[in-house]
Amino acid sequence: MSVAGEARPLDAAMVIGGERVEPEAWLENFDPSTGRTLGRVAAGGAAEIDRAVAAAKQAAPRWAAAKPVERSRLLHRLSRRIEEAHEELSLLETRDTGKPLAQSRADITVTARYFEFYGNVVEAYLGGSIPLGAEMLAITENVPYGTTGHVIPWNYPAQITARSVAPSLAAGNTVVVKPAEIAPLTPVRLAELALEEGLPDGVLNVVPGEGASAGQALGDHAGIGHISFTGSVATGRTVAARCANRGRPVTLELGGKSPHVILESADLDRAIPLVVSTLIQNAGQTCVAGTRTIVHRSLREELIERLVAELESISIGPGLEDPDLGPLISAGQLERVNGFVERAVGEGNEPLRAGSVPPGLGGYFVEPILFTEAAPESEIAQQEVFGPVLVITPFDRADEAVALANATDYGLTAAVWSRDVDQALGVARAIEAGQVFVNGYAAGGGVELPFGGFKDSGFGREKGFEALGEYTQTRTVLVRSELPAGS
């Protein structure tokens, strides 16, 4: 699957049992920057998932029995290989998702880092012992589930695949991955690279296909011990309900409506670049996008003025030209974003459009849009738009800021901006979110930092050491011993 100057379309087949497998049927993959066909995607379904789970289960006992250091070395090899293929993977990611090339490059760096990090820490993933006196020995082991399933969204295909696959493999599971059908290229390529680096056949399988067929079949499969799902709240709940029916655990990473809380003493010079970048990154199609700005009334006017000026100056264009803002992923997503904007306007909100889409672009582009008067309870202030749309809400007292920050059903991330340490910490710790940043936002990909939602944003934790716990179950072994006579 070469990228540069290829004459044939980019196809994403399946990787099952250590082989590239052609599907019986294909779907079309569109280039978000042009709207034209990019290539074909395997239309995997229940039969292909079945085959992948069988291959994964066959590989599971040996993989689980391997010494952690052996798994660790393979993950390190894969990490290095991803670094060697950095540009190829970055180009694939940008072509598939439309995101600006610099952002794909950052994503691939983080992808490699996941395999490095879990390769590092798995050897220190210790069990325990419980003191029960001289006649008992109680120990706990971290035991893999066998085979885990991973349902991946289209917004960060490489990173999110690595995020759950790396800890699961490190912990001794074999895996089956179902990428989003509109962005399957890097997950498939990662599996190919892993095979080339010596990952045993069947340990990492990838079956692209539609959610309603391949995704559902994976979530329903009796051979899967745990499901990691990243995507929308509605689909996540469906998958979780199905897992509950089978009595299987699930990790849900869902959406967000994350606020920047800009307190009275905030340094706007530091805050504004991050308000802008977390709004336009991946065209706003980021679960941790900063889509609400809750600002002290005294700073509101200056903030709006400076945000508009910054946003006016950004470049908009095809991902491969590495603009500041690329296209949305699909025609459907463009329609969805426009729908939110039209409904907000219909409710009497004036949109402040900053920057403009250059004429003649064929892809799914939208310019940044600010709503500065929308009521906190309105749809545009409550729902995840997944586009570069920002709602700005003023407050007078810090407790109002906290109440506003917490006034959505989501609770994924938040940022607090202040020069006053006491106040910043007080507000940060009152926010209902899985990650809260003070005077910053998500450090370097945050591979080491436990990540996940409060409230409707999900449950369970990915990233960090903590994620290893999602992919293992505790076995307690109790040994009764007899004291030697006379002791």
Binding site for ligand NAP (CB under 6 A): 151-155, 160, 178, 180-181, 210-212, 215-216, 219, 230-232, 235, 238-239, 253-255, 287, 384, 386, 412, 458
Task: Give CA–CA dist 149/53, Å, rounded.
Answer: 9
Closer Cβ to Mg ion, 334 or 398, answer by number: 334
DSSP tag of 90: H
Q: Which does residue 219 touch among Mg ion, ligand NAP, none (CB within 5 to 8 A, set by kind)?
A: ligand NAP
Q: Show the tokens assigned to 90.
A: 């970055």
Closest distance of CB 254 from ligand NAP, Å: 5
Closest separation in Å from C-beta 385 to ligand NAP:
10
Q: Rounded to the nearest 10 degrees, how much is the dihedral formed by the CA atoms of 197, 202, 206, 209?
A: 160
Least Cβ distance, residue 114 to ligand NAP (angstroms)? 13
Report the distance separating Cα 404 and Cα 75, nearest Å: 43
Residue 68 C-beta: closest distance to ligand NAP, Å: 27
- Closer Cβ to ligand NAP, 152 or 316, answer by number: 152
Does 183 engage in binding with Mg ion (CB under 5 A)? yes
Distance separating alpha carbons of residues 86 and 319, to the nearest angstrom:
16
Give the list of residues 6+ apart from residue 91 with CB closer than 8 angstroms, or none.
3, 4, 101, 104, 320
Q: Which is nearer to Mg ion, 189 or 226 (CB)?
A: 189
CB 369 within 8 A of CB 389: yes
Is 96 exposed, middle or buried (CB count within 10 Å of its CB: 0-12, 13-18, 19+)?
Answer: buried
Residue 183 touches which of ligand NAP, Mg ion, none (Cβ within 5-8 Å per kind): Mg ion
Q: How far is the CB of 456 from ligand NAP (least distance, A)?
A: 10
Q: Is 67 a catalytic residue?
A: no
State the DSSP code for 213: I
Catalytic, 181? Answer: no
Q: Which residues contact 320 (CB under 8 A, 6 or more apart)?
A: 33, 91, 94, 95, 101
Q: Which of ligand NAP, Mg ion, none is residue 212 near (CB under 5 to 8 Å by kind)?
A: ligand NAP
178 is an active site residue: yes
Is 264 annotated as catalytic? no
Compute φ and ψ for 326, nearest 5 degrees: -100, -170
**Does 182 engage in binding with Mg ion (CB under 5 A)?**
yes
Tell me the CB-side half-sphere exposure of residue 33, using CA atoms within 13 A: 22
Which residue in the list 287, 310, 462, 463 is annotated as catalytic?
287
Instruction: Answer with the entry of Mg ion, ligand NAP, none that 324 interacts with (C-beta below 5 to 8 A by kind).
Output: none
User: Closest approach of Cβ 209 to ligand NAP, in Å?
Assistant: 7
For every residue of 34-56, DSSP letters joined together read TSSEEEEEE---HHHHHHHHHHH
Candidate list 12, 29, 100, 371; residue touching Mg ion; CB under 5 A: 29
DSSP 8-state symbol, 122: G
Residues in 93-112 at the binding interface with Mg ion, rule: CB under 5 A: 96
Structure tokens that stand for 105 in this block? 């490059």
CA–chain centroid gap for 88, Å, is 21
Which of 93, 181, 253, 310 is an active site residue?
253
Instruction: Choose one: 45-53, 76-84, 92-100, 230-238; the region binding Mg ion (CB under 5 A).
Output: 92-100
Q: Which residues are tagged catalytic? A: 178, 253, 287, 384
Residues near Mg ion (CB under 5 A) are: 29, 96, 182-183
